[in-house]
C-alpha cells in the first residue's frame, strides 16, 4: 500500500507540474486539459531528463527528475499565478468536471492496482522483455540505456515509455518489481482520465451541457478501457450449446467449439480469454493461413504486458487532445499561425516526437490525424477547393513533424533500428477479413456510430443527388453550390482505385498462387469499407462548409481516418520480419479502437440529443440502433468481467511484487546483484529462447548479459545485424574445462559475474564449474545458486 501511495504521489506531482502547461494548451476544453496534465507532464519532464542525461548534464536519477520537474513546476506555477483571476474563475465554473475527471483517474488506478495485486507475476508472454527494458531504463545513469540482453550495445527498441515509468520509480523510490504493476495500473488510469477530458471538451465545443459533456466522457471511458469486442456472444453460445458443430466450423474462431465443457457462467478452458484477440483468420484444410491479432485495451490491461502500444494509449490521446485544441482554436491555420502559436507548436512537436519514441506506429497515426484536421480547418476557413486547401495546410504542418524528429534525433537517427526493408516496405494481403470476424471485432462500434454517421452524411447524399440530377439534365445553374463535387473524382481515385491498384500489382507479382480472378472477389469484399471511407470523407467536407459544430466535425474526420485505416489493412501490410499482415492488423486495429472510442462518446451525445427531433427513416435507424446497442453493450461488458474473474483466480494472493513467484535462492541473487554490482558490470547466464524464464537475471536487474532471447534481438535489430558467436561463446564459457579458454571469452565480453543456477545446469548438462573457482571467487551463494566474481581472485 505504501508503495502504491508513493507512486501515486509522484504521478500527481508530475501532473501538477504538467497542468501549468495544459491550462494554456487546452483553452477550449472544459477542464482546461486537467485530464492531460499527467501524461503531458510525464512527457515534458521525462524528455528533459532524457535529453540532459544524453548530454551528460543531468543524471537519470531521483535528483535529476527533481531538478527538471521543479523547473517545469516553477515555470508553470509562475504562468498560472500571472493568470490567477482567469484560473479562479475557471475553477468556480468547471470544478464539477475536474472533480469527475479526477475521480475517474483515481478509480481506475485503484481498481487496476487491486486487480494486479491478485495477478502480479512478471512471467509468461513477453513480460520478462518489458521488465528488462524497465530495469535498463532505471539502471542507466545516462541515455541511452544499455541493452541487458546484448552486452556492449544500447537498446535498439523504442523505449521512451519504459524511460517514463522508470522515472516514476526513481522519483517514488518504488522497486521495479512493484513499479511494473503500478505502471500498468497507471496506464489504464491515465487513459481513462485523458479520454474523459477530450470527449467532454469536444461535446462542450458542440454546445453540450456540463451533464452531457460528463456523460459522454464517461461513455468513451467505458468504450476505451472497459468494453471488449463481441467474442462473448460466441463464448456463451458455445458454453450453452447454442449452435451445432457445422455452425462453429463455419465460424472458425480457434478455441470456440460446440462441445465446450463448463457449467459455470464463464468458460473453463485454459486461457479462454486469449481467444478474443485471435478472431480474424482464414482456415484452409484445417490449417490457419491468415493468423492475426486484434488486441484491445482491456485485454492489454488484463494480460499485463507493459508493451509500447499499451503505454502509448494515454499519450496518443494527449496528441489527439492537442490536435483538437489546434482544430478548435479561433486562430486561423497558416504560416502566420506559427507567429501567434509558437509555444503551442513546440509543445505539439515534442508530443508527436514522443509518440514515435514510445511506440513507433503511433507517430504515423497522429501525423495523419494532424494533417487531416489542418486540411479540413483550412478548407473550412477558405473558399478554395480541396487540393489548394490541402497544399496550403501542409506547408505550415511540415515543420511541426520535422521538429518532432529533430527533438528526439538521438533516437530516430541514432539507436533506433527499423525492421522494414527499404527495397520492399509493403506487402499485399493474401486473404480478406471474413464479415463475421469483422463484425465480431467492430460490431459494437458500428452500431453505436450508425445513427451519427448515417445522419451526418445524409446532407452530402442529398447534395450529390441534386448535383447528379441537374448535371444529367444540363440545368446546373450555380456550380458553386456544390463545393465538394469538384474534388469528388479525385477523392474517389485516392480512396478506392489507387490503394487497390497497388495491392493488385504486388499481389499478382509476389503472392504464391495469385491470379487475375482474385481481383474481383477482393474488390467486392472491401467495397463496404471503401465506400464508407469515401462517404465519411465527403461528409466531413460537406459539414466543414455547412455549419457543423467543431466537436461533431472533429469526430467525423476521425471516422473517415478509421475507415481508411481498416480499408488499408485489407489490402496492404507493413513488410516486417513476420512477413504477413499479423502485426499490421494488430497495431492498426489498436489505434482504430482508440479513435473509435473518442468518436463513440461524441456520437452518443449527438444521437441522444437529436433523437427526439428525428422522424421517418432517421427515427427508424435510431430505434433499431438503440435496441442493438443495448444488447451489444451487455455482450461487450460480459468479456471483461468473465475474463478478469478467470485470470485472477488462483493467484498468489494480494501482493504487487512481480517477482514474488521467483524461488528464494534466485530472488536473493537478483537482490544481491541489484545492490552490489558496480556500474557497467556485465554478467553471463544461460541463453534461451523468448517467452521463457531465460534471461531472468539480466531482465530483473538491468545488468547486461552476453546474449539472450535471440529471436527478439534479431527482430529489434534487423536481419543485417551481426551477432557473431555470442550464443556459442556463452555455452563454451560454461562447458569448457580449459581455464584460459574461458578467461579469453569472459574478457572478450568484459564479463564481471558468472551466474550459475537451475537453468544453467539444465541447459548445459556437461557444465564444468571447477574452473570458475580458479577464475574468480564465489561472491554469492544460496542453495543451488552461485555467483562468481571473475574480476576478483579466488585467493582474496
Which whole number is the average pLDDT over 523-548?
91
pLDDT at 244 over 90: no
Reported as a single tens digit per residue, the pLDDT across 121-164 is 999 999 999 999 999 999 999 999 999 999 999 999 999 999 99
- The grid coordinates of residue 589 equal 486495429
- Calculate the alpha carbon distances from 270 to 5, 244, 266, 274, 646 in Å: 35, 22, 12, 9, 10
If one compares 474 and 635, the residue with the highest pLDDT of the two is: 635
Contact between 29 and 204 under an 8 Å Cβ cutoff? The reply is yes
- pLDDT score recorded for residue 478: 55
Reported as a single tens digit per residue, the pLDDT across 680-719 is 999 999 999 999 999 999 999 999 999 999 999 999 998 7
Contact between 134 and 183 under an 8 Å Cβ cutoff? The reply is yes
Handedness of CA 376, 222, 433, 520 (dihedral sign): negative
Nearest CA-CA partner of 409 in 369, 357, 474, 460: 357
Rounded distance between C-alpha atoms, residue 433 and residue 437, angstroms = 7
Rounded distance between C-alpha atoms, residue 319 and residue 373, angstroms = 13
Chain centre to alpha carbon of residue 745: 40
Contact between 518 and 507 under an 8 Å Cβ cutoff? The reply is yes
pLDDT at 76 over 60: yes
Query: Which architecture does CATH list for 664-789?
Result: 3-Layer(aba) Sandwich (3.40)
- pLDDT score recorded for residue 796: 43
- Look up residue 494 and give its DSSP letter: I
For residue 648, what pLDDT band results from cuts at 50, 70 and 90?
confident
Reported as a single tens digit per residue, the pLDDT across 174-198 is 999 999 999 999 999 999 999 999 9
Nearest CA-CA partner of 708 in 732, 722, 692: 692
- The grid coordinates of residue 637 equal 461488458
pLDDT at 263 over 70: no
- pLDDT score recorded for residue 611: 76
Give this prediction's pTM. 0.95
Nearest CA-CA partner of 351 in 369, 333, 335, 337: 369
The total of other beta-carbon atoms located within 10 Å of residue 395's CB is: 11
Which whole number is the average pLDDT over 365-392?
89
Give first-to-last CA distance, the chain, whole Å: 43
- The grid coordinates of residue 716 equal 529489434
- The grid coordinates of residue 180 equal 511494473
Cis peptide before 403 (omega within 30 of 0): no
Q: Could you tell me the residue ranges of all domains in the chain? A: 1-144+156-229+297-328, 664-789
- pLDDT score recorded for residue 487: 57
pLDDT at 474 over 80: no
pLDDT at 792 over 90: no
Report the greatest alpha carbon distance in the chain. 103
Range name among 303-317, 411-425, 444-458, 613-627 with the lowest pLDDT average: 613-627
- Calculate the alpha carbon distances from 556 to 194, 446, 590, 793 in Å: 20, 14, 19, 70
Reported as a single tens digit per residue, the pLDDT across 103-122 is 999 999 999 999 999 999 99
Reported as a single tens digit per residue, the pLDDT across 13-59 is 999 999 999 999 999 999 999 999 999 999 999 999 999 999 999 99
Rounded distance between C-alpha atoms, residue 314 and residue 57, angstroms = 29
The total of other beta-carbon atoms located within 10 Å of residue 513's CB is: 6
pLDDT at 612 over 80: no
Rounded distance between C-alpha atoms, residue 168 and residue 170, angstroms = 5
Q: What mean pLDDT value characterizes the chain?
A: 92
Four-point Cα dihedral 339, 342, 348, 351, nearest 10: 160
pLDDT at 794 over 60: no
- Calculate the alpha carbon distances from 18 to 29, 32, 85, 185 in Å: 16, 12, 20, 20
Chain centre to alpha carbon of residue 632: 25
Rounded distance between C-alpha atoms, residue 8 and residue 462, angstroms = 53
For residue 608, what pLDDT band results from cuts at 50, 70 and 90?
confident
pLDDT at 480 over 90: no
- pLDDT score recorded for residue 146: 98
Query: Quick one: what percent of the chain has pLDDT higher than 90?
Result: 78
- The grid coordinates of residue 26 equal 487546452
For residue 475, what pLDDT band results from cuts at 50, 70 and 90?
low
Range name among 63-72, 347-356, 357-366, 481-490 with the lowest pLDDT average: 481-490
Rounded distance between C-alpha atoms, residue 19 and residue 569, angstroms = 38
Nearest CA-CA partner of 403 in 358, 361, 359, 343: 343
Number of residues in the chain = 796
- Look up residue 608 and give its DSSP letter: H
Contact between 696 and 666 under an 8 Å Cβ cutoff? The reply is yes
At residue 428, the 3 state secondary structure works out as: strand
Amino acid at each position: 500500500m505504501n508503495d502504491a501511495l508513493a507512486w501515486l504521489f509522484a504521478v500527481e506531482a508530475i501532473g501538477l507540474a504538467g497542468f501549468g502547461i495544459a491550462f494554456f494548451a487546452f483553452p477550449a476544453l472544459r477542464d482546461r486539459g486537467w485530464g492531460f496534465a499527467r501524461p503531458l507532464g510525464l512527457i515534458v519532464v521525462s524528455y528533459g531528463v532524457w535529453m540532459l542525461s544524453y548530454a551528460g548534464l543531468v543524471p537519470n536519477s531521483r535528483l535529476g527528475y527533481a531538478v527538471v520537474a521543479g523547473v517545469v513546476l516553477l515555470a508553470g506555477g509562475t504562468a498560472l499565478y500571472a493568470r490567477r483571476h482567469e484560473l479562479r474563475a475557471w475553477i468556480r465554473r468547471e470544478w464539477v468536471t475536474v472533480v469527475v475527471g479526477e475521480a475517474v483517474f483515481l478509480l481506475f488506478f485503484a481498481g487496476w492496482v487491486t486487480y494486479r495485486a491478485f495477478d502480479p507475476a512478471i512471467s509468461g508472454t513477453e513480460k520478462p522483455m518489458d521488465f528488462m527494458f524497465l530495469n535498463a531504463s532505471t539502471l542507466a545513469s545516462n541515455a541511452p540505456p544499455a541493452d541487458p540482453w546484448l552486452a556492449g550495445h544500447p537498446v535498439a527498441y523504442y523505449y521512451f515509455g519504459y524511460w517514463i515509468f522508470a522515472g516514476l520509480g526513481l522519483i517514488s523510490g518504488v522497486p521495479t518489481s512493484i513499479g511494473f504493476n503500478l505502471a500498468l495500473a497507471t496506464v489504464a488510469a491515465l487513459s481513462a482520465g485523458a479520454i474523459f477530458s477530450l470527449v467532454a471538451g469536444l461535446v462542450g465545443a458542440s454546445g453540450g451541457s456540463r451533464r452531457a459533456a460528463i456523460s459522454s466522457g464517461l461513455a468513451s471511458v467505458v468504450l476505451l478501457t472497459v468494453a471488449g469486442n463481441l467474442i462473448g456472444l460466441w463464448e456463451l453460445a458455445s458454453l450453452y450449446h447454442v449452435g451445432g458443430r457445422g455452425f462453429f466450423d463455419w465460424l472458425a474462431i480457434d478455441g470456440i467449439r460446440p462441445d465446450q465443457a463448463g457449467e459455470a457462467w464463464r468458460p473453463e478452458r485454459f486461457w479462454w480469454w486469449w481467444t478474443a484477440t485471435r478472431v480474424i483468420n482464414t482456415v484452409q484444410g484445417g490449417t490457419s493461413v491468415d493468423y492475426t491479432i486484434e488486441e484491445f485495451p482491456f485485454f492489454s490491461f488484463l494480460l499485463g504486458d507493459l508493451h509500447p502500444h499499451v503505454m502509448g494509449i494515454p499519450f496518443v490521446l494527449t496528441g489527439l487532445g492537442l490536435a483538437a485544441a489546434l482544430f478548435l482554436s479561433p486562430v486561423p491555420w497558416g504560416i502566420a499561425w506559427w507567429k501567434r502559436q509558437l509555444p503551442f507548436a513546440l509543445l505539439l512537436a515534442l508530443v508527436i516526437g514522443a509518440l514515435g519514441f514510445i511506440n513507433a506506429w503511433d507517430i504515423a497515426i497522429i501525423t495523419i490525424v494532424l494533417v487531416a484536421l489542418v486540411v479540413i480547418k483550412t478548407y473550412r476557413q477558405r473558399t478554395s477547393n480541396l487540393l489548394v486547401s490541402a497544399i496550403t495546410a501542409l506547408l505550415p504542418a511540415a515543420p511541426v513533424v520535422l521538429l518532432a524528429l529533430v527533438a528526439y534525433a538521438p533516437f530516430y537517427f541514432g539507436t533506433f533500428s527499423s525492421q522494414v526493408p527499404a527495397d520492399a516496405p509493403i506487402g499485399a494481403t493474401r486473404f480478406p477479413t471474413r464479415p463475421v470476424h469483422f463484425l465480431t471485432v467492430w460490431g459494437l462500434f458500428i452500431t453505436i456510430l450508425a445513427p451519427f454517421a448515417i445522419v451526418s452524411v445524409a446532407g452530402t447524399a442529398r447534395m450529390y443527388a441534386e448535383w447528379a440530377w441537374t448535371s444529367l439534365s444540363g440545368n446546373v445553374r450555380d456550380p458553386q453550390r456544390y463545393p465538394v463535387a469538384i474534388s469528388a473524382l479525385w477523392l474517389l481515385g485516392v480512396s478506392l482505385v489507387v490503394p487497390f491498384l497497388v495491392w493488385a500489382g504486388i499481389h499478382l507479382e509476389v503472392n504464391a498462387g495469385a491470379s487475375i480472378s482474385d481481383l474481383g472477389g477482393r474488390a467486392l469484399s472491401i467495397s463496404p469499407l471503401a465506400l464508407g471511407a469515401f462517404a465519411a470523407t465527403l461528409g466531413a467536407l460537406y459539414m466543414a462548409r455547412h455549419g457543423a459544430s467543431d466537436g461533431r466535425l472533429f469526430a467525423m474526420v476521425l471516422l473517415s481516418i478509421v475507415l481508411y485505416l481498416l480499408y488499408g489493412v485489407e489490402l496492404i501490410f507493413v513488410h516486417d520480419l513476420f512477413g504477413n499482415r499479423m502485426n499490421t492488423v494488430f497495431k492498426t486495429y489498436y489505434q482504430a479502437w482508440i479513435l473509435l472510442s473518442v468518436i463513440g462518446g461524441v456520437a452518443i451525445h449527438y444521437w441522444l440529443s437529436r433523437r427526439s427531433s428525428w422522424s421517418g427513416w432517421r427515427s427508424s435507424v435510431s430505434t433499431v440502433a438503440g435496441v442493438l446497442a443495448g444488447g451489444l453493450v451487455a455482450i461487450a461488458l460480459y468479456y471483461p468481467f468473465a475474463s478478469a474473474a478467470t485470470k485472477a483466480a488462483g493467484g498468489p494472493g494480494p501482493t504487487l511484487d512481480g517477482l514474488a513467484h521467483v524461488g528464494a535462492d534466485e530472488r536473493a541473487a537478483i537482490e544481491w546483484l541489484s545492490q552490489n554490482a558496480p556500474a557497467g558490470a556485465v554478467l553471463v547466464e544461460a541463453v534461451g529462447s523468448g517467452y521463457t524464464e531465460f534471461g531472468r537475471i539480466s531482465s530483473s536487474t538491468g545488468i547486461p548479459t552476453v546474449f539472450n532471447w535471440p529471436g527478439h534481438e534479431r527482430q529489434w535489430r534487423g536481419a543485417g545485424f551481426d551477432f557473431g558467436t555470442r550464443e556459442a561463446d556463452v555455452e563454451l564459457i560454461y562447458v569448457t574445462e580449459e581455464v584460459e579458454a574461458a578467461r579469453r571469452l569472459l574478457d572478450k565480453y568484459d564479463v564481471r559475474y558468472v551466474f550459475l543456477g537451475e537453468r544453467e545446469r539444465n541447459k548445459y548438462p556437461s557444465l564444468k564449474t571447477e574452473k570458475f573457482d580458479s577464475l574468480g571467487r564465489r561472491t554469492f551463494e544460496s542453495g543451488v545458486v552461485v555467483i562468481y566474481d571473475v574480476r576478483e581472485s579466488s585467493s582474496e
